[in-house]
Chains A and B, each alone.
Chain A
Amino acid sequence: MARRAAPRRPVPLRQPAGDPARDARVAGTLAGMEELLVRSAVDVAVDEAAARRTLRAQLARLERELSDALIAAFGHGGVVAAPAPTERAPAPRLLSLGELEAHRDRLTARIAQARRALADRTAAEERARIRLERMLLEPGRHRFERVTAAELGEGGCGVYEVRPRLGLIGMLAGWWQVKLSSGCPLATRARPLSRRHPSEAERPFRHHSGG
């Protein structure tokens, strides 16, 4: 048979006076809790400041990495790492933890994009170099093939092309060679649009024959 629990006496909100030991214990506990709360709030503030410092150090490192990537890409025709669009009107200000994190993430994405583009570019240059080596080894099997200096990641407008030696005679005799064109076309003064042929004026770029 279950015993019925005796009804609990309600705890008075205010302790009756005249128990100094109990009052001291309660006051001590409250003071301890208050100190704990203050300390944890300070700890959070300190932790946030430390996190902001860490993020700023990361931003500094990422900025150096982005600069390195862009300068490395300069020799390979340049890799455009476009800045991410900013949401707010730009003004120098102290960033919050969240803003620093967002800034770091955008910068990381840009570095990854720049490195990917550089890797693609160097891979394409490597393929062009292999093509040129094959052209040089067996010109007869790569007739009229062309590799531009730009494809090789070199400056200038030179073009490597497999051409017959002595023109028609070489073509008939199977004498093929790789020739490097002399470079960029000479600069010419642009004619005003009104003097050009209408069909020519519509074309956005003028075509230059190499060499």
Chain B
Amino acid sequence: MAAGRVAPELAAELPGLSLHVERVAVAGSVVGRAPRELRERLAELSDGVRGAQAVALRREPVPAAYRVLFRHLGLDPDEHRVPIEAAMLDRLMRGGFRSRSLLDDALLVALVETGVGVWALAGERLRGELELRAEAPGGRVVVGDDAGTIAAAFAWPGAERLPSKATREVVLYAIGAAGVPEVFVEEALWTAGELLAG
């Protein structure tokens, strides 16, 4: 796992903000159907979710730290939920975690097990190093590379940056916040990487 760059003005304003990057070589397509073991693991995680647990989630250390970061970034976490709360709400609304693809399922398992959101990019479309930065003074906080903005922080990149059938290297990244132990972020990236690499 490599530490991504955080622009100095962001690091000065939000101590503890970090970007973590992991490159994973994959043998086959990551956008196809997930293997049975992964779907079963997702189903097990799904069965373990209870309504009361989902309500109390906001007070657990990792989601609470992300909620605070969202507030610092001007987002209301009750309107724009932190990744783990969004996943839990989706689970409660749908009655289960739905398997979509190897990539989506791997990222979801990593998220549910650690509380840390992980996003993915196609390695061949990345230019230079990933960086967390503000687009302009007072502008959006985004994840970008040497070619420009990739996505807003905590949002999915556009389709042109996402892994495709032909992708053989996936770049995973996660955003750390003050109060989120680094081991959780490492675990999230490692889990997603292991599942993708098979």
Contact = CB atoms under 8 A, between A and B. Distances in A.
B59 A68 contact: yes
Contacts of A59: 68, 71-72
Interface residues of A, number: 26
The majority secondary structure among interface residues of chain A is helix
A103 interface: yes
Given A91-B140, A93-B140, A52 B13 contact: yes
A96 interface: yes
B116 to A, nearest CB: 16
A96 B154 CA distance: 20
Interface in B53-68: 55-56, 58-59, 64, 67-68
B190 interface: no
Interface of B: 9-10, 12-14, 52, 55-56, 58-59, 64, 67-68, 70-80, 134, 137-141, 152-154
A70 B57 CA distance: 12
Given A59-B72, A71-B58, 7 more contacts: A64-B59, A67-B59, A84-B76, A93-B74, A93-B134, A94-B73, A94-B141
A94 B10 contact: yes
Given A52-B13, A63-B68, A93-B139, A86 B56 contact: no
Contacts of B68: 59-60, 63
Contacts of A81: 78
B83 to A, nearest CB: 13
